C-alpha cells in the first residue's frame, strides 16, 4: 500500500520546487520533508527527485506525484460531500491547468479571478502552445486545458470557446525599412519576425497564407505575449499579435498591419476531465463566460 503522507511530501517538493518551500506549504520542517521523500525512495528502490534548483521529478517521481495530486482532488470532493469527515479542517483544492500564453494575456485571468472568488480553489497554470496543451491532458498532468484541439481527449469533455484572431503587425518605421517595396517573398525572407518558441507556427502559417507556399524567415525568439507587442512597437521585428491586444496601437498608428485584413483566426476549446469535481465545474463556467466576452463566436457543438 502507498503511504500518502510520503506521497504528499513528494508532490509538494515537486510542485514548490524546493524542500524548504514544500516544508512551509505542509507546515513541516525541511528535514521532515526530506526524510519522507528519502523513505519513499528507499521503499521503492529508486530516485524520485533530482536535487537541483528547482527540484525536478524523475519519470517515476512524476507518475507518483501526479497520482497524489489526483487523489487529493478526489479527497477534496469527498470532504465537500461528507463534511463530517473533514473534522473542521478547511482547505483549498489546487487545479493544474494548461493554457496558451495569449489566452492568459487577454481573457483567462478574468476567468481565474471569477472562479477563485466563487470557490476555494488555487490554480497551478502551465504555459504551452495551444496546439500542444492537450498533451498535458493526455499525460494526466493537468485536469483541464485551453487548446486548439476540437476532438475530446479520452475521458474529457471539449467545449468550444471561440476564435482568437491574430494580425501580422509591425511599426511604421519597420515597414519603411523592410517592406517599402511591398510584402512579398523577397522582403519576407529578409525582414526579422518574432517567434514565441519552437512550437509557435503562427508566423509561418501567415506567410504560407500570403504567399501560397512555405518560406524560411529570420526570427527573434521572444517567449512573452506582451514582449511581442513591445518588440513590434520598438521595430525589433514583425509578429502575429492578438488583435484584442494591439487594436489601440493600430488605431493610434503605432502599429500597422503588414497586409491589411489578412488575419489568422485560431479556434480555442476548453477540455476538462469528465469526473464530477465541483471546483472544476466552477472554473469551467467562468472560463466560458470570460472567453465569450473576448473571443469571436465559434459555432460548434460540445464534444
Tens digit of each residue's pLDDT (9 = 90 or more) over 242-281: 998 999 999 999 999 999 999 999 999 999 988 767 889 9
Q: How many CB atoms lie within 10 A of CB 96?
A: 21
Average pLDDT value for the chain: 89
Q: If you ran DSSP here, which 8-state letter would residue 85 be given? A: G
Q: If you average pLDDT over residues 214-223, what whole number do you get?
A: 95
Confidence of residue 91 (pLDDT cuts 50, 70, 90): low
Confidence of residue 92 (pLDDT cuts 50, 70, 90): confident
Q: Are strands 219-221 and 193-195 parallel, antiparallel or unpaired?
A: parallel
Q: If you average pLDDT over residues 85-111, what whole number do you get?
A: 81
Q: If you average pLDDT over residues 8-30, what whole number do you get?
A: 89
The answer for residues whose C-beta is within 8 angstroms of residue 20's C-beta and 6 or more apart is 30
- So what's the pLDDT on residue 72? 72
Q: If you ran DSSP here, which 8-state letter would residue 296 be given? A: B
83 pLDDT above the threshold of 60: no
| Cα dihedral 139→143→148→154 (10° resolution) | 60
142 pLDDT above the threshold of 90: no
Please tell me the pTM assigned to this model: 0.75
Nearest-angstrom CA–CA distance, 64 and 58: 10
- So what's the pLDDT on residue 302? 67
Q: Nearest CA to 244 among 164, 168, 161? A: 164
Burial class, 132, CB count within 10 angstroms (exposed 0-12 / middle 13-18 / buried 19+): middle
Q: If you ran DSSP here, which 8-state letter would residue 183 be given? A: S
In the chain, the percentage of residues whose pLDDT exceeds 70 is 92
Question: 225-234 and 243-252 are packed helices; what angle lies between their axes, rounded to 10 degrees?
Answer: 20
Q: Is residue 98 a contact partner of residue 153, using CB atoms and an 8 Å limit? A: no
225 pLDDT above the threshold of 60: yes
Complete domains list, the chain, with CATH: 1-91 (1.10.10.10), 164-265 (3.40.190.10)
Confidence of residue 238 (pLDDT cuts 50, 70, 90): very high
Q: Is residue 278 a contact partner of residue 120, using CB atoms and an 8 Å limit? A: no
Q: How many CB atoms lie within 10 A of CB 218?
A: 11
With b meaning 16 or more CB within 10 Å and e meaning fewer, what string describes 191-209?
bbbbbbeeebebbbebbee
Tens digit of each residue's pLDDT (9 = 90 or more) over 155-205: 899 999 999 999 999 999 999 999 999 999 999 999 999 999 998 999 999
For 219-277, the three-class secondary structure string (H helix, E strand, C coil) is EEECCCHHHHHHHHHHCCCEEEEEHHHHHHHHHHCCCEECCCCCEEEEEEEEEEECCCC
* Choice between 64 and 85, residue whose per-residue pLDDT is larger: 64
Amino acid at each position: 500500500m502507498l503511504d500518502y503522507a510520503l506521497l504528499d511530501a513528494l508532490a509538494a517538493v515537486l510542485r514548490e520546487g524546493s524542500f524548504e518551500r514544500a516544508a512551509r506549504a505542509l507546515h513541516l520542517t525541511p528535514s521532515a520533508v526530506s526524510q519522507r521523500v528519502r523513505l519513499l525512495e528507499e521503499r521503492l528502490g529508486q530516485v524520485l527527485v533530482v536535487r537541483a534548483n528547482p527540484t525536478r521529478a524523475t519519470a517515476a517521481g512524476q507518475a507518483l506525484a501526479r497520482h497524489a495530486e489526483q487523489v487529493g482532488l478526489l479527497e477534496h470532493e469527498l470532504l465537500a460531500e461528507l463534511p463530517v469527515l473533514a473534522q473542521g479542517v478547511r482547505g483549498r483544492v489546487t487545479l493544474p491547468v494548461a493554457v496558451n500564453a495569449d489566452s492568459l494575456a487577454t481573457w483567462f485571468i478574468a476567468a481565474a479571478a471569477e472562479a477563485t472568488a466563487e470557490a476555494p480553489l488555487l490554480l497551478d497554470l502551465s504555459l504551452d502552445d495551444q496546439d500542444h496543451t492537450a498533451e498535458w491532458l493526455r499525460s494526466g498532468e493537468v485536469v483541464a486545458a485551453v487548446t486548439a484541439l476540437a476532438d475530446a481527449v479520452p475521458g474529457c469533455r471539449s467545449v468550444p470557446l471561440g476564435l482568437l484572431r491574430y494580425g501580422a503587425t509591425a511599426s511604421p518605421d519597420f515597414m519603411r525599412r523592410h517592406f517599402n517595396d511591398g510584402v512579398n517573398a523577397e522582403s519576407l525572407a529578409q525582414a526579422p519576425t518574432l517567434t514565441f518558441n519552437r512550437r509557435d507556427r503562427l508566423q509561418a502559417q501567415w506567410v504560407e497564407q500570403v504567399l501560397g507556399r512555405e518560406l524560411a524567415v529570420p526570427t527573434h525568439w521572444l517567449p512573452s505575449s506582451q514582449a511581442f507587442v513591445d518588440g513590434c512597437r520598438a521595430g525589433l521585428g514583425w509578429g502575429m499579435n492578438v488583435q484584442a491586444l494591439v487594436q489601440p496601437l493600430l488605431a493610434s498608428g503605432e502599429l500597422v498591419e503588414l497586409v491589411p485584413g489578412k488575419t489568422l483566426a485560431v479556434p480555442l476549446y476548453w477540455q476538462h476531465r469528465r469526473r464530477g469535481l465541483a471546483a472544476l465545474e466552477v472554473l469551467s463556467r467562468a472560463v466560458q463566460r470570460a472567453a465569450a466576452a473576448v473571443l469571436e463566436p465559434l459555432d460548434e457543438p460540445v464534444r
